């Protein structure tokens, strides 16, 4: 089953499983968006769980692979300037430097090629802009045997369990790590802020 079909099927249940567990961390991560108005990419917007927590001064473009997710996101966008786009976060249909900032919440551990997704987000953010990441990552050198064993099955249905953020960042010379803190699940989930140079 492809990721697109899988997420189209789970769209009706996604909020019940994810919203309450991640709400506080999402809100905290989004507080790092700067005060001056700008253009912000929401990569992998899903059902729009970030939308109620976004500051109103920015213009937002949310991209998601599935129309089912985007339909669920639209009602949450009433308080912000929001444009939905159906597309692949690994192949963004935007020009280089088109955004001031990008938000990557629970997307890098979902897409088949997280390095490509991060590289595309970096490409479309202007130099000096920020990328806010909230996701689950293995630590460099962490064995996590059960997660690695479960990964081949789980990644086909919903999410990857084997992404090491340090490996991704090491292959992104245009990004500088500014902030990294544990968010939940004993540090498995992390809130990360990157700067595009």
CATH code: domain of residue 111: 3.40.50.150
Q: For residue 145, give the 3-state DSSP assignment.
A: helix
Q: What is the mean pLDDT of residues 177-194?
A: 89
| Closest C-alpha to 22, from 108, 102, 136, 121 | 136
Per-residue confidence (pLDDT) for residue 186, from 0 to 100: 75
pTM score: 0.85
Is residue 67 within 8 A of residue 86, CB to CB? The reply is yes
The DSSP call for residue 29 is H
Per-residue confidence (pLDDT) for residue 4, from 0 to 100: 57
The yes-or-no verdict on residue 115 having pLDDT over 90 is: yes
d(CA 143, CA 139): 9
Token couple for 181: 């803190």
Per-residue confidence (pLDDT) for residue 148, from 0 to 100: 52
- Choose the weakest-confidence range: 25-34, 58-67, 185-194: 185-194
Q: What is the mean pLDDT of residues 136-163?
A: 63
pLDDT above 70 covers a percentage of the chain that reads 82
pLDDT above 90 covers a percentage of the chain that reads 70
| Domain interval for residue 72 | 3-196
Per-residue confidence (pLDDT) for residue 188, from 0 to 100: 79
Q: Which long-range contacts (CB under 8 A, 24 or more apart) does 10-18 make?
A: 10/158, 11/47, 11/66, 11/68, 11/69, 11/72, 14/46, 14/47, 14/69, 14/72, 15/47, 15/49, 15/72, 18/49, 18/106
How many structural domains are present in the chain? 1
């Amino acid at each position: 089953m492809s990721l697109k079909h899988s997420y189209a099927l789970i769209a009706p249940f996604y909020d019940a499983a994810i919203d309450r567990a991640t709400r506080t961390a999402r809100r905290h991560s989004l507080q790092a968006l700067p005060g001056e108005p700008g253009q912000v990419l929401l990569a992998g917007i899903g059902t729009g769980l970030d939308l109620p927590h976004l500051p109103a001064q920015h213009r937002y473009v949310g991209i998601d692979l599935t129309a089912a997710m985007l339909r669920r996101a639209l009602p949450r966008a009433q308080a912000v300037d929001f444009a939905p786009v159906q597309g692949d976060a690994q192949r963004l249909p935007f020009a280089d430097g088109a955004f001031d900032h990008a938000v990557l919440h629970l997307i890098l551990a979902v897409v088949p090629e997280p390095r490509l997704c991060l590289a595309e987000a970096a490409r479309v953010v202007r130099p000096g802009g920020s990328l806010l990441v909230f996701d689950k990552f293995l630590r460099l050198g962490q064995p996590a045997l059960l997660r690695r064993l479960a990964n081949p099955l789980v990644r086909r249905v919903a999410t990857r369990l084997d992404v090491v953020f340090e490996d991704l960042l090491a292959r992104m010379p245009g990004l500088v790590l500014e902030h990294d803190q544990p968010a939940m699940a004993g540090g498995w989930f992390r809130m990360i802020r990157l700067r595009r140079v």
